C-alpha cells in the first residue's frame, strides 16, 4: 500500500448527501432506517437473511439460515430447495413483469434485440431442453466462452435452470487459458460463438476453442452460437462434436421444468487470479448467492419497476454475473447489455446507448471513467443524459478527480454515485453507499452493506485507522471455496488472526465518520483496468521462454488503467535484450494468458534485487519502475544492482 494514497484520501473532505427528492423515493431512506436495519443484520443475521430469502421463491423452505459447523466453509439456507433461474425468470411471469423488457441488447454495429421476461423464459427453456438432449446433467461443468451476446446471459440462466455448473471464461482469454480452466474444472461441454464485433473488427472465437480443446478428452460437445446471418465469422464445425445453437434449440419444447436444487448445490465457478501462478476456480452456490445478489441489487441500485439499468461490465467477470445478470433479473429489472467497445463508432457510444434506451442507472468502472474524462466533455454533452438518476462504479479505487468528473459531467450533480467495493470471492457488493442514505465522499466506498461486519486491522489483528481490510462475519454469498483445493481457500483467506477474519487482500483506511477507503491490493495481485492479474502468472509465463532465467512483475500506476504492469526480466547468459525479444515475450503473454495482460514495460536486467534470504524486493522494483527515490537498500545482496536497474529504466 502506498502512503501517498493514504495522504490523498486523508485530505478529501468533500461530502455529497443525496437530494431530498432521491431520499423521498428510495427503498431505504435516511440514516436512521439504515442504522436500524444494519444493526438487526449484525445482531440477528438469521432473522434478517431469513426475511430477505422469503421474498424469493423456494420449493422447500430452509431448515437453517446459516450453518457454521465446518468453519470457514459456511453454508446458507441449508435444507432449502430453490432455483436461481426460476427466481430470475419464471417468478416474473405471473403479473405485470411478464411482458416487461428483461434484456435490452445492443450489438456494436447497431443491431438490437429486446427480450421480455416471457421471451427469456421461452428461450431459456428451449436452450435447457437442447442442452439436456446432448447429455448435460445436473452437476456437469459447462465452460462458456461467448462474447456479449444475449445468448451469454441465457447460457448462465439455462445452466442454473438444470443445475449444471457454468464457468464463464472472459472472451479476451487465450486458447491456453481456456484449456487450463477446462482441465481444472473437468468440463464436459463448451458453449461458444463463432465471433463478435470489436471496434468495427470481427473477433473470431471458435478457433480459440478449437485450439484449446485439441487433445482434451473431457469435452464431449461444443455448442456454437452464430453471431449473425453472414459468413464474416466462418469457422470449422467438427462433425459429431460441434453443434450450432440455432439447430440445437430449433425443435425444442418451450417448456422445461426447473430442477429443484439444494440451496448449497453449485451454481458456478469463476476463475480469478491470486498470488500463485495458477488461477483459482471460485465456487458459488444457488441459495446464498441468490439472496445476496438480489438484495444488494435492490438496495444499492435502488431498483424500481420503471428503471432501465445499464451495466457496462462483461459477463465474463463477476460484475457481469452478479449485476448484469442475476441480481437485477432477480429484481425483474430491465437490463441493457452492450456487445462492443465504448469508443465505437465514436467516443460517445455509451452515452448514445443511455439516450437511446433512456437508461436510469449506469454502472461502470473507474478505468472507463478516466478514459471518458480524457476523451473530453463534448462526447457526453452531445447526448441527452437526463434519464439518469443513479451512477455506480466498481472494480478498483476511484480517484477523487474521476469521481468529481462523473458527478458533474455524467450525473449533472444530481445523481448519487455508489462506489461499490467487492470481489469475485464475495459474490456481491460489500462496501457501498446506499443512494437514499449515505452522503458520499469522492474516492470512498463508504459503509458496509447489511450483514457485513468490516474492520481495518494490522497484522496483529488490532483495529487501526489504516491497514488491512478484514471481515468478521460470513454473509450469504461468500465463496464456498476454491474448486478442488479446499486448503488454498483456508490458507488464502482465513489463515491470519486465528480464522476470525476473512481477508480479501486489500489495504484500506477508515476515517472519523467510519467510512472505508479501499486503497488497493496488498498482495501480488495487480488490478489492470479492473481486471485482476497475478504477477506470478506472468512470471511463470516468462520463464517458459528459453532465453529467460528469471523474472519479477510488479504493478505500477497508470493514468487510465489505474494500474499497469512492469516486467523485470533476467536473461540467460550471452542473450541480448532486444526489442524483438520484448515483442516475443509480449506475444508469449498474449498466447498464454490473453492480450489484456501485456505489460506496459519490459525491463531487461542482469540480476534482480533480492534480500539476503533471497526474496525479490518487489517494493523496490515498484519504486524503480515508477521512478521514485530508492530509499534504504542496505539489505540487498548486491546493492549495485539497484543503480544499474535504475539506469536501465531511465534509458528505456
Ligand atoms: C478491487 C470485482 C477499490 C479490490 C468486483 C478487490 C475495488 C478486487 C473496488 C476484486 C472499489 C473492486 N474500490 N477497489 N470500489 N471494487 N476493487 O474479483 O482490490 O475482479 O480485491 O471483483 O478489485 O476484483 P474482482
- The CATH number for 211's domain is 3.40.50.12780
Same domain assignment for residues 109 and 236: yes
Q: Which residues contact 408 (CB under 8 A, 6 or more apart)?
A: none
Distances in whole angstroms, Cα of residue 213 to Cα of each of 123, 143, 193: 28, 11, 15
CB of 420 within 6 A of ligand 1: the answer is: yes
Task: Return the residue whose CA atom lies nearest to atom 3 of ligand 1.
Answer: 397
Ranges 163-177, 445-459, 461-475, 631-645: which has the least confidence: 631-645
The domain that holds 621 is classified in CATH as 3.30.300.30
- Over the stretch 18-68, which tens digit does the pLDDT of each residue have? 999 999 999 999 999 999 999 999 999 999 999 999 999 999 999 999 999
Task: Return the residue whose CA atom lies nearest to atom 14 of ligand 1.
Answer: 396
| DSSP-assigned letters across all residues of 512-573 | TT--EEEEEESSSEEEETTEEEEHHHHHHHHTTSTTEEEEEEEEEEETTTEEEEEEEEEEPT
475 domain residue, yes or no: yes
- Over the stretch 521-539, which tens digit does the pLDDT of each residue have? 999 999 999 899 999 999 9
Question: Cα(265)–Cα(285) distance, rounded to whole angstroms?
Answer: 5
Q: Return the CA Rg of the chain.
A: 24
- Residue 424 CA, closest ligand 1 atom number: 18
Same domain assignment for residues 502 and 542: no
By the 10 Å C-beta count (0-12 exposed, 13-18 middle, 19+ buried), 224 is classed as buried
Same domain assignment for residues 485 and 587: no
Q: Decide which of 507, 537, 553 is a domain's last residue.
A: 507
Number of structural domains the chain divides into: 2
Same domain assignment for residues 271 and 139: yes
Please report the pLDDT score of residue 652 as a whole number: 45
- Over the stretch 544-592, which tens digit does the pLDDT of each residue have? 999 999 999 999 999 999 999 999 999 999 999 999 999 999 999 999 9
CB of 314 within 6 A of ligand 1: the answer is: no
371 domain residue, yes or no: no
The rounded Å distance from CA 576 to ligand 1 centre is: 39
For residue 651, name the pLDDT band (cuts at 50, 70, 90).
very low
CB of 403 within 6 A of ligand 1: the answer is: no
Task: Return the residue whose CA atom lies nearest to atom 5 of ligand 1.
Answer: 423
Q: Decide which of 507, 542, 567 is a domain's last residue.
A: 507
Helix axes 579-592, 535-542, angle to 10 degrees: 120
Report CA 85 to chain centroid distance, whole Å.
Answer: 20
389 domain residue, yes or no: no
CB of 395 within 6 A of ligand 1: the answer is: yes
To test ligand 1's pocket by mutation, which of 420, 442, 518 has the most ligand atoms within 8 angstroms of CB?
A: 518
Please report the pLDDT score of residue 613 as a whole number: 84
CB of 339 within 6 A of ligand 1: the answer is: no
The rounded Å distance from CA 597 to ligand 1 centre is: 17
Question: Cα(504)–Cα(219) distance, rounded to whole angstroms?
Answer: 34
3 domain residue, yes or no: no
* C-alpha atoms less than 13 angstroms from C-alpha of 602 in its C-beta half-sphere: 25
The rounded Å distance from CA 261 to ligand 1 centre is: 30
- Over the stretch 62-94, which tens digit does the pLDDT of each residue have? 999 999 999 999 999 999 999 999 999 999 999
Helix axes 286-300, 45-53, angle to 10 degrees: 90
For residue 636, name the pLDDT band (cuts at 50, 70, 90).
low
CB of 597 within 8 A of CB of 546?
no
- Residue 519 CA, closest ligand 1 atom number: 3
CB of 424 within 6 A of ligand 1: the answer is: yes
- Phi/psi zone of residue 16: left (φ > 0), alpha (ψ -120 to 50 degrees), beta? beta
Question: Cα(160)–Cα(128) distance, rounded to whole angstroms?
Answer: 9
The rounded Å distance from CA 527 to ligand 1 centre is: 8
To test ligand 1's pocket by mutation, which of 315, 395, 431 has the most ligand atoms within 8 angstroms of CB?
A: 395
- Over the stretch 148-197, which tens digit does the pLDDT of each residue have? 999 999 999 999 999 999 999 999 999 999 999 999 999 999 999 999 99
Same domain assignment for residues 561 and 479: no
| DSSP-assigned letters across all residues of 346-384 | STTHHHHHHHHHT-SEEEE-HHHHHHHHHH-THHHHTS-
Q: Which domain holds residue 159?
A: 20-341+420-507
- Residue 425 CA, closest ligand 1 atom number: 18
Q: What percent of the chain has pLDDT over 70?
A: 96
CB of 320 within 8 A of CB of 339?
no
Work out the number of other CB atoms within 10 angstroms of the CB of residue 128.
Answer: 28
For residue 415, name the pLDDT band (cuts at 50, 70, 90).
very high
Work out the number of other CB atoms within 10 angstroms of the CB of residue 459.
Answer: 10
CB of 433 within 6 A of ligand 1: the answer is: no
Widest distance between CA atoms in the chain: 74
Task: Return the residue whose CA atom lies nearest to atom 22 of ligand 1.
Answer: 423
Whether residue 294 is predicted with pLDDT greater than 90 in this model: the reply is: yes
Same domain assignment for residues 443 and 545: no
CB of 428 within 6 A of ligand 1: the answer is: no
- Residue 431 CA, closest ligand 1 atom number: 15
> Residue 337: beta bridge partners?
105
Work out the number of other CB atoms within 10 angstroms of the CB of residue 94.
Answer: 8
How many helices (DSSP H) and strands (DSSP E) are in the chain?
22, 30
Question: Cα(413)–Cα(417) distance, rounded to whole angstroms?
Answer: 10
CB of 532 within 6 A of ligand 1: the answer is: yes
Distances in whole angstroms, Cα of residue 63 to Cα of each of 70, 402, 458: 17, 47, 38
> Which whole number is the average pLDDT over 412-434?
98
> Which whole number is the average pLDDT over 506-521?
95
639 domain residue, yes or no: yes
Element (H, E) at 114: strand 112-116
Report CA 179 to chain centroid distance, whole Å.
Answer: 21
Q: Is the dihedral of CA 119, 124, 125, 130 positive or negative?
A: positive
Same domain assignment for residues 572 and 484: no
By the 10 Å C-beta count (0-12 exposed, 13-18 middle, 19+ buried), 490 is classed as middle
The rounded Å distance from CA 227 to ligand 1 centre is: 31
> Which whole number is the average pLDDT over 501-514?
95
Same domain assignment for residues 551 and 440: no
Q: β-pairing, 525-528 with 481-482? A: unpaired
- Residue 525 CA, closest ligand 1 atom number: 19
Whether residue 370 is predicted with pLDDT greater than 50 in this model: the reply is: yes
Same domain assignment for residues 443 and 547: no
Task: Return the residue whose CA atom lies nearest to atom 1 of ligand 1.
Answer: 396
- Over the stretch 209-261, which tens digit does the pLDDT of each residue have? 999 999 999 999 999 999 999 999 999 999 999 999 999 999 999 999 999 99
- Residue 445 CA, closest ligand 1 atom number: 15
For residue 619, name the pLDDT band (cuts at 50, 70, 90).
confident
Distances in whole angstroms, Cα of residue 42 to Cα of each of 48, 298, 367, 431: 9, 19, 34, 15
The rounded Å distance from CA 627 to ligand 1 centre is: 26
- Dihedral of the CA atoms 620, 625, 629, 631 (nearest 10)? 10
CB of 237 within 8 A of CB of 247?
no
- Over the stretch 192-212, which tens digit does the pLDDT of each residue have? 999 999 999 999 999 999 999
Question: Cα(190)–Cα(136) distance, rounded to whole angstroms?
Answer: 11
291 domain residue, yes or no: yes
641 domain residue, yes or no: yes
515 domain residue, yes or no: no
Q: Which candidate, 306, 351, 350, 311, places its Cα nearest to that of 327?
A: 311
Distances in whole angstroms, Cα of residue 472 to Cα of each of 50, 451, 501: 20, 10, 5
To test ligand 1's pocket by mutation, which of 423, 443, 529 has the most ligand atoms within 8 angstroms of CB?
A: 423
Q: Decide which of 482, 507, 532 is a domain's last residue.
A: 507
> Which whole number is the average pLDDT over 491-514?
91
DSSP 408: I
CB of 144 within 6 A of ligand 1: the answer is: no
SS3 446: strand
The rounded Å distance from CA 130 to ligand 1 centre is: 36
CB of 518 within 6 A of ligand 1: the answer is: yes
Same domain assignment for residues 204 and 117: yes
Task: Return the residue whose CA atom lies nearest to atom 12 of ligand 1.
Answer: 395
SS3 501: coil
> Which whole number is the average pLDDT over 617-623?
87
Question: Cα(272)–Cα(168) distance, rounded to whole angstroms?
Answer: 11
CB of 418 within 6 A of ligand 1: the answer is: no
Same domain assignment for residues 583 and 457: no
The rounded Å distance from CA 290 to ligand 1 centre is: 20
Distances in whole angstroms, Cα of residue 459 to Cα of each of 464, 469, 488, 496, 499: 10, 11, 20, 8, 13
Same domain assignment for residues 590 and 492: no
CB of 506 within 6 A of ligand 1: the answer is: yes
> Which whole number is the average pLDDT over 439-461?
96
CB of 394 within 6 A of ligand 1: the answer is: yes
Amino acid at each position: 500500500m502506498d502512503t501517498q494514497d493514504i495522504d490523498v484520501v486523508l485530505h478529501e473532505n468533500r461530502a455529497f448527501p443525496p437530494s431530498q427528492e432521491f431520499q423521498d423515493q428510495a427503498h431505504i431512506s435516511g440514516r436512521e432506517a439504515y442504522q436500524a436495519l444494519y444493526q438487526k443484520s449484525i445482531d440477528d443475521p438469521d432473522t434478517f437473511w431469513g426475511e430477505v430469502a422469503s421474498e424469493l421463491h423456494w420449493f422447500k423452505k430452509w431448515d437453517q439460515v446459516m450453518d457454521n459447523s465446518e468453519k470457514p466453509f459456511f453454508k446458507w439456507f441449508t435444507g432449502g430447495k430453490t432455483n436461481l433461474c426460476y427466481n430470475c425468470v419464471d417468478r416474473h411471469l405471473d403479473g405485470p413483469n411478464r411482458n416487461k423488457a428483461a434484456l435490452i441488447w445492443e450489438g456494436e454495429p447497431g443491431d438490437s434485440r429486446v427480450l421480455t421476461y416471457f421471451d427469456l423464459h421461452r428461450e431459456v427453456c428451449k436452450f435447457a431442453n437442447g442442452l439436456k438432449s446432448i447429455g448435460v446433467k445436473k452437476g456437469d461443468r459447462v465452460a462458456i466462452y461467448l462474447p456479449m451476446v444475449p445468448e451469454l446471459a441465457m447460457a448462465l440462466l439455462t445452466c442454473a435452470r438444470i443445475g449444471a455448473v457454468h464457468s464463464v471464461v472472459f472472451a479476451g482469454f487465450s486458447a491456453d487459458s481456456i484449456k487450463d480452466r477446462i482441465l481444472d474444472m473437468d468440463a464436459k461441454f463448451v458453449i461458444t460463438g463463432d465471433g463478435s464485433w470489436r471496434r468495427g473488427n470481427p473477433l473470431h472465437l471458435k478457433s480459440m476453442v478449437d485450439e484449446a480443446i485439441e487433445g482434451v478428452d473431457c469435452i464431449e460437445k461444443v455448442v456454437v452460437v452464430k453471431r449473425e446471418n453472414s459468413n464474416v465469422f466462418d469457422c470449422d464445425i467438427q462433425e459429431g462434436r460441434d453443434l450450432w445453437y440455432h439447430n440445437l434449440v430449433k425443435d425444442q419444447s418451450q417448456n422445461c421444468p426447473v430442477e429443484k436444487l439444494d440451496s448449497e448445490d453449485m451454481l458456478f465457478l469463476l476463475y480469478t487470479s491470486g498470488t500463485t501462478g495458477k488461477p483459482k476456480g471460485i465456487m458459488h452456490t444457488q441459495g446464498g448467492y441468490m439472496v445476496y445478489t438480489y438484495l444488494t441489487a435492490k438496495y444499492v441500485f435502488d431498483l424500481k419497476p420503471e428503471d432501465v439499468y445499464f451495466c457496462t461490465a462483461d459477463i465474463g467477470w463477476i460484475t457481469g454475473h452478479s449485476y448484469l445478470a442475476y441480481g437485477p433479473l432477480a429484481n425483474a429489472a430491465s437490463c441493457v447489455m452492450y456487445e462492443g467497445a465504448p469508443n465505437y463508432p465514436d467516443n460517445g457510444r455509451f452515452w448514445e446507448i443511455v439516450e437511446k434506451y433512456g437508461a436510469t442507472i449506469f454502472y461502470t468502472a473507474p478505468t472507463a471513467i478516466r478514459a471518458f474524462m480524457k476523451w473530453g466533455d463534448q462526447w457526453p454533452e452531445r447526448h441527452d443524459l437526463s434519464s439518469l438518476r443513479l451512477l455506480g462504479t466498481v472494480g478498483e479505487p476511484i480517484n477523487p478527480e474521476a469521481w468529481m468528473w462523473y458527478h458533474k459531467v455524467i450525473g449533472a450533480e444530481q445523481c448519487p454515485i455508489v462506489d461499490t467495493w467487492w470481489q469475485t470471492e464475495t459474490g456481491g457488493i460489500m462496501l457501498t453507499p446506499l443512494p437514499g442514505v449515505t452522503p458520499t465522499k469522492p474516492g470512498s466506498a463508504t459503509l458496509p452493506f447489511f450483514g457485513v461486519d468490516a474492520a481495518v486491522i494490522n497484522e496483529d489483528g488490532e483495529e487501526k485507522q489504516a491497514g488491512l481490510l478484514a471481515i468478521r462475519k460470513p454473509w450469504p454469498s461468500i465463496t464456498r471455496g476454491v474448486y478442488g483445493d479446499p486448503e488454498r481457500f483456508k490458507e488464502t483467506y482465513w489463515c491470519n488472526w486465528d480464522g476470525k477474519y476473512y481477508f480479501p487482500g486489500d489495504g484500506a483506511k477508515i476515517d472519523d465518520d467510519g467510512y472505508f477507503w479501499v486503497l488497493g491490493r496488498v498482495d501480488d495481485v495487480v488490478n489492470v483496468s479492473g481486471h485482476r492479474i497475478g504477477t506470478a502468472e506472468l512470471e511463470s509465463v516468462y520463464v517458459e521462454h528459453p532465453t529467460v532465467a528469471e523474472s519479477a512483475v510488479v504493478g505500477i500506476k497508470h493514468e487510465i488503467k489505474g494500474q499497469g504492469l512492469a516486467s523485470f526480466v533476467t536473461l540467460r547468459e550471452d542473450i541480448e535484450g532486444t526489442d524483438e525479444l520484448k515483442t516475443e515475450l509480449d506475444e508469449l503473454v498474449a498466447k498464454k494468458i490473453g492480450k489484456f495482460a501485456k505489460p506496459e514495460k519490459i525491463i531487461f536486467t542482469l540480476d534482480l534485487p533480492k534480500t539476503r534470504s533471497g526474496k525479490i524486493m518487489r517494493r523496490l522494483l515498484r519504486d524503480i519502475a515508477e521512478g521514485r527515490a530508492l530509499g534504504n537498500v542496505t539489505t540487498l545482496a548486491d546493492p549495485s544492482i539497484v543503480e544499474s536497474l535504475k539506469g536501465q529504466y531511465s534509458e528505456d
